[in-house]
Every structure is written in structure tokens, then in C-alpha cells.
Amino acid sequence: MRWKKNRRICISAVAVGLSILILLICPMRLLLAIIAIALIAFGLYTLMC
């Protein structure tokens, strides 16, 4: 149980980190900001479940 929860935290942290990196690198910031918000929301959702 505990390992599974830690894994979910890691996955959500990676998703957030990747979205931030994409925002920094890519010029199409508005579209990618929307994607980043969606990834963060998904990460938080996985933490809640």
C-alpha cells in the first residue's frame, strides 16, 4: 500500500517537473500552460485517490 502511494507521488512530481521544463523550453507558452495545469490537476487527483 505504502509503496503504491509513494509511486503515485513520484509520478505526479515527474509530471509537474516535465510540464515546468516544457514551459521553460518551448515558446508556445499559452498552450503548454494549459497542458501543464492539466498535468498538475491529474497529479493532484492521483494523490487524492
Q: What is the pLDDT of residues 8-42, one digit of tens each?
A: 777 777 878 887 777 777 666 777 778 888 888 88
Which of 29, 10, 47 lies closest to 21, judged by CA? 29
| pTM of the full structure | 0.42
Per-residue confidence (pLDDT) for residue 38, from 0 to 100 = 85
Domains of the chain by residue range: 2-48
The answer to whether the CB of 41 falls within 8 A of the CB of 49 is no
Per-residue confidence (pLDDT) for residue 2, from 0 to 100 = 64
Confidence of residue 3 (pLDDT cuts 50, 70, 90): low
